[in-house]
Amino acid sequence: MGKRMRKVQIYTDGACSGNPGKGGWGAILICDGVEKELSGYEPYTTNNRMELTAAIEGLKALKYPCEVTLYSDSSYLVNAFKSDWLTGWKANGWRTSNKKEVQNRDLWEQLDKLIDIHIVTWVKVKGHSDNEYNNRCDKLATGEIKKRTESEIESQTDNQAENQSENQGENQGENQSEG
């Protein structure tokens, strides 16, 4: 008899400030009552890419093959598996039923490999609603964007102050040499 697979719940969310724009993703893994939060940032991306990345990073964090229930508010992500879009895309050479190239193929291919390792049940949840874990994932994702935006503003402010200081020093030097 084979070893029993661990049961893991993964909640995911992606966010984008502008679409495309700055993006963040968040994931919460729950196994045997233990929670682990993951999050990340991309400087220029789309919301759909962040939704996919959250799922990828959540699944990649698992050290062993697991039985996973993955919760997402992204219809794009969940329907690709529940409606079997992924199988159709692969059969059509990564083209949609309209013969257009599948967007985000690189990420779909990563997910495809990960679902060969894990048994994944996909669950669509309502976003920005009463699901505590989805709301926490949203905060992780948007927090990554906010954190990076604030650090960029601080960096720009520091650079402006540095430039002003250099310009003032140059101006003082010019004034002294004119005298």
Instruction: Express each pLDDT in 146-161 by its tens digit.
Output: 998 877 777 766 666 6
Of 153, 2, 161, 127, the closest CA to residue 54 belongs to: 127
For 39-76, the pLDDT digits (tens) are 999 999 999 999 999 999 999 999 999 999 999 999 99
Domains of the chain (ranges; CATH) run 6-178 (3.30.420.10)
Length of the chain: 179
Question: At residue 164, does pLDDT exceed 90?
Answer: no
The percent of residues in the chain predicted with pLDDT above 70, rounded, is: 85
Task: Indicate the pTM of the whole model.
Answer: 0.84
Write the CB contacts of 41 (distance below 8 Å, at least 6 apart in sequence): 22, 23, 24, 144, 145, 147, 148
Is-contact 40 103, C-beta < 8 A?
no
Other CB atoms closer than 10 Å to residue 100's CB: what's the count?
A: 8
Any idea which residues carry the catalytic annotation?
13-14, 51, 73, 128, 138
